[in-house]
């Protein structure tokens, strides 16, 4: 017997079919991680090959400058620890004609550039699948240890920035929706737009000039996440010192980040307020607060809450880059910037791999958050 038009959908309301469909959806998304990661890494690998000034060229330049310390480090098994070369270099380097060809080949072998590009890329991806990112070219530390060392700074910036952005944006967006078209809505929209238009790094420079001893007041520290005497402070002193250092970086990040979420919250609430069920609730005698928070809030917040994982990843690994550079915060953003400048390819590609993987996971968590907020989501109709 075929179910009628009004029969309940078995994929809803916690039915076992929902769990089965959700698991299948997650499995398909996880399988898509592999080609996505492969494609992103391949594109960047090809692009990097066109960039001049790789580690072999830098080594040759230093050797031609009679850097005897570098010469002493070449040879033996020094290059055996470098597991994934990054650039397509050849023995015909600019300015290398005066060097012994055997020495040039030894340098290439040390950095792993003695293999064809496709072989190097496949070898790199093989190691990356097991989270073996090798060691930095210029630091005596593995890439994974280097990332773990810098991660707490970026996590501090990302977590607190995301928390503050959501804490400010959601109430402001709701108030703007309730008072849509009022003077408050107009002037608050103007201020939010101005904050969004000012780049975060430019705002950071203004904060340094006026509040960090640049030209006026020395109210906040200029660099670092904690003071030099942090270990000697009491618990309350450590907490105060920690947030004292975070004040200016968080201000620069939050003011440039909460505009999008504010307008998203406002538009989501305006869309729901215009729905028929809101008029029905008002007709039943419910006051505006009961209508707003008892009926509208859950539906309007669906898209806002579901975007939390992706927003956190965006703030954590994208927006914090220039802020870390400006405030000399030794996090992942500054690490990636310095690695790109110095052509430290294991660090560049290792961080890129981790950032991409976290971004894909955040996207999947965002989709799953939809289900937590609204169990009516049907995975039969979900795309990838």
Point out the domain boundary residue: 129, 160, 177: 129
pLDDT at 68: 38
pLDDT at 358: 82
State whether 312 and 226 are in the same domain: yes
Instruction: Answer for the pair 362, 310: CB distance below 8 angstroms, yes or no.
Output: yes
State whether 97 and 172 are in the same domain: no
State whether 185 and 306 are in the same domain: yes
Instruction: Answer for the pair 17, 10: CB distance below 8 angstroms, yes or no.
Output: yes
Query: pTM for the full model?
Result: 0.70
pLDDT band of residue 373 (cuts 50, 70, 90) is: low
Please give the tally of structural domains in the chain.
2
Q: Provide CB contacts within 8 A for 258, sequence distance 6+.
A: 164, 165, 168, 169, 172, 192, 195
Q: What is the mean pLDDT of residues 179-202?
A: 87
Point out the domain boundary residue: 106, 129, 152: 129
State whether 271 and 313 are in the same domain: yes
pLDDT at 99: 59
- Domain assignment present for 303: yes
State whether 259 and 154 are in the same domain: yes
Instruction: Answer for the pair 355, 317: CB distance below 8 angstroms, yes or no.
Output: yes
| Residue 301 exposure: Cα atoms within 13 Å on the Cβ side | 17
Q: Residue with structure tokens 């910037």? A: 337
State whether 224 and 122 are in the same domain: no
Is residue 353 scored above 70 in pLDDT? Answer: yes
Residue 227 CA to residue 77 CA, distance in Å, equals 41
Is residue 145 scored above 80 in pLDDT? Answer: yes
Point out the domain boundary residue: 63, 95, 129: 129
State whether 77 and 158 are in the same domain: no
pLDDT band of residue 187 (cuts 50, 70, 90) is: very high
In which domain, by residue range, is 122 found?
A: 25-129
pLDDT-wise least confident of 38-42, 111-115, 217-221, 238-242: 111-115
Percent of the chain with pLDDT over 90: 3
Percent of the chain with pLDDT over 70: 71
Is residue 232 scored above 80 in pLDDT? Answer: yes
Task: Count other C-beta atoms under 10 Å from residue 200's C-beta.
Answer: 22
pLDDT at 223: 77
- Domain assignment present for 286: yes
Is residue 271 scored above 50 in pLDDT? Answer: yes
Residue 89 DSSP label? -
State whether 164 and 31 are in the same domain: no
pLDDT at 153: 85
Residue 236 CA to residue 153 CA, distance in Å, equals 20
| Residue 337 exposure: Cα atoms within 13 Å on the Cβ side | 18
Is residue 17 scored above 50 in pLDDT? Answer: yes
Q: What is the mean pLDDT of residues 69-80?
A: 40
pLDDT at 280: 84
Instruction: Answer for the pair 82, 112: CB distance below 8 angstroms, yes or no.
Output: yes
Cα 106 to the chain's mean position, in Å?
A: 38
If one compares 380 and 300, the residue with the highest pLDDT of the two is 300
Q: Which helix (H) or strand (E) holds 104?
A: helix 101-111
pLDDT at 83: 43
Tell me the C-alpha to C-alpha distance, in Å, between residue 320 and each of 33, 122, 201, 310, 335.
Answer: 25, 31, 9, 14, 11
pLDDT band of residue 224 (cuts 50, 70, 90) is: confident
Is residue 176 scored above 50 in pLDDT? Answer: yes
State whether 187 and 96 are in the same domain: no
pLDDT at 186: 92
CATH number at residue 219: 1.10.3720.10
- Domain assignment present for 1: no
Q: Take residue 279 and report the two structure tokens written for it.
A: 């008029």
């Amino acid at each position: 017997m075929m179910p009628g038009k009004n029969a309940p959908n078995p994929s809803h309301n916690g039915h076992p079919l929902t769990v089965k469909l959700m698991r299948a959806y997650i499995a398909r998304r996880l399988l898509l991680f592999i080609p996505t990661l492969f494609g992103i890494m391949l594109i960047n690998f090809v692009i990097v090959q066109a960039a001049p000034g790789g580690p072999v060229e830098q080594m040759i330049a230093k050797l031609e400058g009679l850097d005897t310390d570098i010469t002493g480090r070449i040879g033996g098994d020094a290059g055996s620890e470098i597991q994934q070369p990054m650039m397509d270099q050849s023995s015909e380097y600019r300015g290398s004609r005066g060097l012994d060809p055997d020495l040039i080949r030894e340098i290439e072998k040390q950095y792993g550039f003695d293999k064809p590009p496709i072989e190097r890329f496949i070898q790199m991806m093989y190691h990356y699948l097991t989270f073996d990112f090798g060691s930095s070219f210029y630091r005596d530390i593995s890439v994974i240890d280097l990332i773990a060392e810098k991660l707490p700074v970026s996590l501090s910036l990302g977590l607190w920035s995301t928390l503050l952005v959501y804490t400010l944006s959601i109430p402001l967006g709701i108030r703007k929706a309730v008072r849509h078209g009022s003077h408050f809505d107009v002037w608050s929209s103007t201020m939010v737009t101005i904050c969004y238009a000012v780049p975060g790094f430019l705002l950071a420079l203004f904060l340094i000039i006026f509040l960090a001893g640049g030209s006026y007041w020395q109210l906040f520290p200029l660099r670092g996440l904690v003071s030099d005497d942090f270990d000697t402070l009491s618990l309350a002193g450590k907490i105060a010192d920690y947030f004292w250092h975070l004040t200016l970086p968080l201000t620069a990040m939050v003011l440039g980040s909460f505009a999008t979420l504010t307008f998203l919250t406002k538009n989501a609430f305006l869309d729901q307020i215009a729905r028929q069920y809101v008029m029905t609730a008002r007709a039943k005698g419910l006051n505006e607060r009961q209508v707003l928070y008892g009926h509208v809030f859950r539906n309007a917040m669906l898209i806002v809450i579901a975007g939390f994982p992706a927003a956190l990843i965006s703030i954590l690994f994208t927006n914090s880059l220039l802020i870390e550079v400006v405030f000399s915060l030794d996090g992942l953003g500054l690490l990636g910037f310095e690695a790109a400048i110095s052509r430290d390819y294991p660090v560049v590609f290792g961080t890129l791999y981790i950032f991409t993987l976290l971004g894909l996971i955040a996207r999947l968590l965002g989709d799953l958050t939809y289900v937590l907020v609204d169990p009516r989501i049907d995975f039969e109709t979900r795309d990838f």
